Structure 1
Amino acid sequence: MEDRGKLEAAIDQLLNEEKQMRLAGDVPGTRKAVTDILRLCFESKDWKLLNEQIVNLSKKRGQLKQAVQSMVQQAMQYIDQTPDVDTRIELIKTLNNVSAGKIYVEIERARLIKKLAKIKEGQGLIAEAADLMQEVAVETFGAMAKTEKIAFILEQVRLCLDRQDYVRAQILSRKINPRVFDADSSKEKKKPKEGESIVEEAPADIPSLLELKRIYYELMIRYYSHDNEYLEICRCYKSIYDIPSVKENPEQWIPVLRKICWYLVLSPYDPMQSSLLNATLEDKNMSEIPDFRVLLKQLVTMEVIQWTSLWEKYKEEFEKEKNMIGGSLGDKAAEDLRLRIIEHNILVVSRYYSRITLKRLAQLLCLSIEEAEKHLSEMVVSKALMAKIDRPSGIVCFQAAKDSNDILNTWASNLEKLLDLVEKSCHQIHKETMVHKAALRA
């Protein structure tokens, strides 16, 4: 009781000092008074009194912005030294309420909410943690360091993915421009011009830009895996593969390069996939994984691939992915791999045949006639190739897809030939007329 009385007497004395300093507009004096009050509460381990004093001091008439900022920053140092979780949450909530709506402590508020979300996540309340994080729009904070902003947004995306809110995860991920990771961090920081806001240094626990790049693409892989967007997943792995720290360590880049190869094979054929496939084949590091080089080579070679022999050869490698970086390739991956091989074989057949019977096509694809027709129809609908099926005759006619420019060029060429023929005909008629006139005169 005696200690309690001394504490209250000391706080009352400091409150009087704080009032005098505040009314006089003395910024350093007010800051010192409020921080001393909080320090006394902390040293006496009276957490309830600490919360009360934070609220009371922030509500004082004409309270200085700098004093509130110092008070919040001082109290934030005590969060990790609280005796239990409930006390910690109570202190964070008090500081949140004090800093709400105050632009000069917006960065501190964002950090407090991040701490609270971490506690909620630890308690298994992922939805609540995600909702807390989404309340803060750090992209509008001019004074926050770039790396801290990115780390905060990535945390928002991760929590949305954990609660399987893929729509919001995509919206949040678009706040980060991937080009920001390619910025040269070695350049000296420019000094802020007069009138510009001073950017604060990022806390020590915030990862570097290149580490954030890896976290960003790993989260995007999780997002694209939801809808099995294999080409986008492949591009994400390609970006991770290009990080210098990954390229320098074979233990890191070999599993990533394997993933690139698998997802290239799983991706439906399009110009982007073809470009990435050829670029990957030219990579010197492919010599370290020769089996995958052979696999990609088969896809660019216009030859029919036997599915059974290919699966026997690569089944073990396919299963091995489960124990590597990034985990297994997904539940549908094996089915989609077979589908890609069938599509490749149909494209090969379309290159070598203009007309073929469905029966023969089914034999080349090692499928039943119904399955061959189904896969061919799907490729025609997706405009991967041009073909017509004469079902009564059981004949498939492959046609080369014509561009609108090619059609116009063909018409122009035909018109030119027609005009040449008319001109030649007119010349011949004129010649015959002249010959007959000369004969009559004679």
Structure 2
Amino acid sequence: MNTVIGVSVNTVLFGGCFDGFIVVIVFVLLVGDWNFWDGFLSLEHKNLDAAIESLLNVEKQMRLAGDVAGTKKAVIDIVQLCYEACAWKTLNDQIVLLSKRRGQLKQAVTAMVQQAMQYIDETPDIETRVELIKTLNNVSAGKIYVEIERARLIKKLAKIKEEQGLIAEAADLMQEIAVETFGAMAKTEKIAFILEQVRLCLDRKDYVRAQILSRKISPRVFDADPLKEKKKPKEGDNVVEEAPADIPSLLELKRIYYELMIRYYFHHNDYLEVCRSYKAIYDIPSVKGDPAQWIPVLRKICWYLALSPHDPMQSSLLNSTLEDKNLSEIPMFRLLLKQLVTMEVIQWTSLWEAYKDEFECEKDMPGGSLGEKAAEDFRERIIEHNILVVSKYYLRITLKRFAELLCLSLQETEKHLSEMVVSKSLVAKIDRPAGIVCFQAPKDSNDILNSWAMNLEKLLDLVEKSCHQIHKETMVHKAALKVQ
């Protein structure tokens, strides 16, 4: 029986952790001898220690001899042996021990870290997983040849922290890594890592740091042609690693980037930048080719154009959006934009009754649904539009008549007009005692002097031409008298 037991133990020890334990547990349950279980664990521990010791001797010989391939194999075998025996504490200890050995080869440390990273998802519980990640992180800290592996480890640890509800800790962990300096990391993986940093900062309401991190990504990087053939690296250049399979494509990253930017700009009520972000999402081929995707995006573009203050950029986007043929699929929004570009006074009450239901339907926005603040801003944009229309057709108008055209009180009319003058959207003066609004722009002293000079020049030209004509008529008259 002892011989059989010894053979079965040696057979299951290195043949797979869970299968071995199942065989032994079944044997103990059948025989009923629990002392054998203690003997099995002791024998397993001794066999594991003996196997590791022999491999450590092999690793030492290979390392001293400078044999890179042999050292890597010995290191990987030790790590794999600990994994198969489910000795997670021993695995952590051996990783630290091997990394601190004198003259340890960089290739061996890299191979060991990469091999151990494959076992992270195989850990039995979350504590063991965190411990293994921290061990690998400590080993790879400060080593430039495993910087990519360290970034991936930090990302895994941050994800665990986030699942535990520790958003602030996850964000702090991610900010420790500056992946933009990693030359060997794939471009898409860099972008995905930075976007994860931005997302965590937005989740913890740290909008200042989110903006700083987002500036590490240039929007022009998303315009690169992914089908363009990669240039072969020259001799001495760093070889760029392939991105992991779970990293999204460049166009998917573009959508994620602009959705995060929408969240940031919406917090600051920067409607024009929100509109431009939606415009960038709208231009993605996969979105533009699917009506189920582009119709909601185009609706949001129209809303945020209507909410944006009047300026040259807003006017340019408004006209370019009106030229979009897809806008005919949503005629209500085409009519809304048409009203905004037409120089006619818009009645706010009738407009709000027509679009109130559509306004309240916009719920699924990355930055948040359109609420009371957006409704107030929409009303202000309509009032601003009406003021600009009036200023186009009148040089002078009474404040009372102005208020009647805007359907506002005198106080509200004066308030909105003053705000537009302060923001330099309009040039106007209010004569409050007389109750008159003047839209003529004040002239600069230099402009006045220049106009006077031009008027004098024109006057002198007329005088000279008149003198010439008089002289000509005089000569003709004298010649006629001589003939007679």
Which residue of 1 is the match for residue 263 of structure 2? 222
CA apart distance, 1:413: 3.3
Shift of 1:9: 0.3
1:274-293 equivalences under 5 Å are 274-293=315-334
1:440 is matched with which residue?
none
Equivalent AA in structure 1 for residue 172 of structure 2? D
- Asked if 1:271 corresponds to 2:312, the answer is yes
- Residue of structure 2 equivalent to 1:91: 132
Matching of residue 195 in structure 1 with residue 236 in structure 2: yes
TM-score (norm. length: structure 2): 0.86
Task: Measure how far apart 1:404 and its partner are.
Answer: 11
Instruction: Give 1:326 shift.
Output: 6.5
Distance 1:139 1:10, change over 3 A: same
Q: CA deviation at 1:282?
A: 0.6
Q: In the TM superposition, what whole-angstrom CA distance separates every residue of 1:76-120 from its partner, at most 9, and x where no partner exists? A: 000001111111111001001100010000000000000000000
CA offset digits 1:246-269 (Å, max 9, x no partner):
011111000000000000000000
Q: CA deviation at 1:190?
A: 1.0
| Change in 2 beyond 3 A, CA 1:424/1:318 | same
**Is the CA contact (8 Å cut-off) linking 1:255 and 1:325 kept in structure 2?**
no
Alpha carbons 2:263, 2:368 under 8 Å: kept: no
Equivalent residue number for residue 93 of structure 2: 52
Residue 357 of structure 1, aligned match among 390, 398, 415:
398
Partner of 1:311: 352
Q: In the alignment, what sits opposite 1:142?
A: 183
The partner residue of 1:10 within 37, 42, 51 is 51
Aligned counterpart for 1:82 among listed residues 95, 108, 123 = 123
Cα offset, 1:417, TM superposition: 1.5
| Corresponding pairs, count | 437
Structure 2 equivalent of residue 133 of structure 1: 174
Query: Any conservation in 2 of the 1:385–1:401 contact (CA below 8 Å)?
Result: no
Instruction: Note if 1:333 corresponds to 2:371.
Output: no
Match of 2:165 among 97, 115, 124: 124
CA distance in 1, matches of 2:73, 2:256: 41
Query: Match for residue 171 of structure 1?
Result: 212
Distance 1:201 1:381 in 2: 54
Q: Give the deviation of 1:427 after TM superposition.
A: 5.9
Residue 386 of structure 1: SS of its match in structure 2?
coil
Change (3 A) 1:428 1:378: same
The offset of 1:402, in angstroms, is 7.3
The match for 2:273 is 232
- For 2:288, which of 244, 247, 251 is the aligned residue? 247
- CA deviation after TM superposition for structure 1 residue 208, in Å: 0.1
Q: Cα deviations across residues 5-30 of structure 1 (Å, max 9, x unaligned)? A: 00000000000000000000000000
Task: Quote the RMSD (CA, aligned, Å).
Answer: 2.4
Q: CA deviation at 1:327?
A: 5.0
- The answer to whether the 8 A contact 1:255-1:324 is kept is no
User: 1:408–1:237: structure 2 CA closer, same or farther, 3 Å change rule?
Assistant: farther
| Match of residue 425 from structure 2 | 384
Change (3 A) 1:327 1:260: same
Deviation at 1:425, TM superposition (A): 7.5
Answer yes or no: is the 8 Å Cα contact 2:260–2:366 preserved in 1.
no
Question: What is the CA deviation profile of residues 28-86 of structure 1, one whole-angstrom value per residue up to 9, with x for unaligned ones?
Answer: 00000001001111011111110000000000000000000000000000000111111
1:22 aligns with 2:63: yes
* Residues 404/345 of structure 1: CA separation in 2 closer, same or farther (3 Å cut): farther
Partner of 1:32: 73
Residue 422 of structure 2 aligns with an amino acid whose one-letter code is V
**SS of match in other structure, 2:210:** helix
**Following TM superposition, by how much is the alpha carbon of 1:429 offset from its aligned partner in structure 2, in angstroms?**
10
The CA distance in 1 between the partners of 2:449 and 2:224, in whole Å, is 46
Distance 1:133 1:264, change over 3 A: same
Q: What secondary structure is seen at the aligned counterpart in 2 of 1:399? A: coil
Within the candidate set 137, 144, 151, 1:110 is matched to 151
| Pair 1:292–1:419, CA change in 2 (3 A) | same
Deviations 1:306-358 (A, max 9, x none): 00000000000001111577651244100000000000000000011111111
Is the contact made by 1:220 and 1:236 (CA closer than 8 Å) also made in structure 2? yes
Shift of 1:430: 8.5
What is the SS of the residue equivalent to 1:396? strand
CA distance in 1, matches of 2:55, 2:48: 11
Take 2:189 and 2:206, find their aligned partners in 1: how far apart are those partners? 23
Look up the match of 2:252.
211
Asked if 1 retains the 8 angstrom alpha-carbon contact of 2:161 and 2:169, the reply is: yes
CA distance in 2, matches of 1:427, 1:269: 54
Following TM superposition, by how much is the alpha carbon of 1:399 offset from its aligned partner in structure 2, in angstroms? 1.7
Identity score, percent: 83
Instruction: Output the CA distance in 1 between the equivalents of 2:453 and 2:176.
Output: 62
How far did residue 188 of structure 1 move? 1.1
Give the residue type in structure 2 aligned to 1:49.
T
Contact 2:194 2:213 in 1 (8 A): yes
CA distance in 1, matches of 2:338, 2:321: 10
Bigger shift: 244-253 or 399-408?
A: 399-408
The corresponding residue for 2:3 is none
Give the aligned residue type for 2:198.
Answer: V
Cα deviation, 1:168-218, whole Å, max 9, x if unaligned, reads 101100000101101001111111011110000000000000000000000
Check whether the contact 2:259–2:366 (CA below 8 A) recurs between aligned residues. Answer: no
Distance across 1 between alignment mates of 2:90 and 2:203: 37
Q: 2: CA distance between counterparts of 1:39 and 1:60?
A: 19
SS at match of 1:186: coil
Change (3 A) 1:380 1:39: same
